[in-house]
Chains A and B, each alone.
Chain A
């Protein structure tokens, strides 16, 4: 029971993080900033970091929120 609650809490957190990323994609704070960071415009660097953050979140989603019932279906069929 406790485990189930823990899993659904983690899932809820990860889905919230996903929504947060949709919001963070709109980087109006660098909207008028042409400054170069490591040779690239800061707005572009932000979106490169954004892609890295999405990758991390996808790893977590796959690890902790995977739709495992689809694999159960598949195993049942294979049998």
Chain B
């Protein structure tokens, strides 16, 4: 029965995603940014759904299993503050610039903002490299969920394959419109089913007070599992949203600047609705399912579901987890497909002149190829979903100063942007190889997250190198700023 419910849900998502094909206008702009026609509610649902992935559902509960309630402060409430702030100050401006100049990707903007081909190419390579681990956590999460919920009847590799298959189908058919429709449905599903999961499991545990009584006291406070400097420096991680290619692409779908008002206001509420149950279930699960080591804790939520809510309900709840996973995977693959089409194939004239039909075809082929590679990688990877995501976010967040300088600092130069990106590349690689094997790695074991140093170095490189190099030309400033300095 559980399997039937999951397959019915997947069929529903496929139908919704592919139905949008009826509205397809046959142009690249329609395929990649839904002709910039998305309204406030759908924008909120698609932005939120895209950001909530296996990381927020399985990763958050897994991390809370080890670290306790502090995980909500680390990533939940910090995201509730940082992400709407970025939508307010950055998203609205990028939307306006994107509409004015007809952009589809960040690389197009950065390349023209500093008039540098090589800068655009470098950014393309870095962004694609950082998205792959983020894609990986979705595919891994899908496989793990299905394997546990079906008691091993469906192995992990089938679950991952299924997630990839469904996403690739509706992304290829429906493009961005299919993605936002499917995301809206899936966001509503995982928010509703998340609440149902929480209420059902807690009720079966004998109520919140009884369940809390079984939990180690250390997990009910932040002090013993999370260090003060960790909490202070973690706030930089959600800044990654400013550089996510898929979020940039969703911003461009907005009908107008006013469309951003709903997402800005309601984003913190949505975060609380999803993260509080995830974190609490991870904490409560620690008293119930003991002995999960490292990445095994990613399965705590699904284990609780199969223990306390078997049958049809388990199917619904697993569908909720699938919804969260697929609503991110679709946008990420579409964004990377768009970048490949616009920033490489079209820009470098491999298909010159490139028809609208060709743009869509190349985008589709790249989506299929990228998901195939990610799927193969998921078969050989065995990492904590939370930690994989945090390394990916560290890279994206550290690139954020480049975008801030592009938007707000007229004196910034292409050399400064280069220095900033290269500093991120060097330092991220350094810390990654230093800390990859160490669970909970922080710099010198002080609690300071690597993102702090990489972000600071990136910002410093941007400022210092910009100030010692030739100021940008007036025509570029006139193009991007109303009153050039």
Residues in chain A within 8 A of chain B (CB atoms) = 18, 21-22, 25-28, 30-34, 36, 39-41, 43-44, 47-48, 50-52, 54-55, 58-59, 61-62, 66-67, 70-71, 73-74, 77
Contacts and interface: CB of A to CB of B under 8 A. Distances in A.
16 contacts: A21-B81, A22-B81, A22-B235, A25-B235, A32-B223, A34-B217, A36-B220, A39-B209, A47-B77, A50-B81, A51-B80, A58-B268, A62-B264, A74-B257, A77-B99, A77-B100
Nearest to B202: A39
Contacts of B480: none
B349 interface: no
A61 B77 contact: no
A46 B257 CA distance: 33
B77 A50 contact: yes
B264 A47 contact: no
Given A31-B221, A55-B266, A58-B268, A74 B73 contact: no
A36 B210 CA distance: 12
A73 B271 CA distance: 32
Contacts of A27: 73
A39 B208 contact: yes
Interface residues of B, number: 45
Given A33-B221, A43-B220, A44-B280, 14 more contacts: A25-B77, A25-B235, A34-B221, A36-B220, A43-B70, A51-B80, A55-B269, A58-B84, A58-B265, A67-B92, A70-B96, A74-B96, A77-B99, A77-B100
Interface in B271-309: 271-272, 276, 279-280
B100 A41 contact: no
Contacts, number: 108
B442 interface: no
Contacts of A55: 265-266, 268-269
B242 to A, nearest CB: 16
A47 B256 contact: no
A73 B88 contact: no
A65 to B, nearest CB: 8
B22 interface: no
A41 B223 contact: no
B70 A51 contact: no
Contacts of B280: 40, 44
B92 to A, nearest CB: 6
Given A41-B220, A43-B70, A51-B77, A67 B93 contact: yes
A62 to B, nearest CB: 5
Nearest to B276: A48
Given A34-B221, A58-B88, A74-B99, A51 B268 contact: yes
Contacts of B73: 25, 27, 43, 47
Contacts of A43: 69-70, 73, 220-222
B76 A47 contact: yes
Contacts of A18: 85
B428 interface: no
B345 interface: no
Contacts of A22: 81, 235
A36 B211 CA distance: 12
B268 A54 contact: yes
B46 interface: no
A54 to B, nearest CB: 4
B257 A70 contact: yes
A39 B280 CA distance: 11
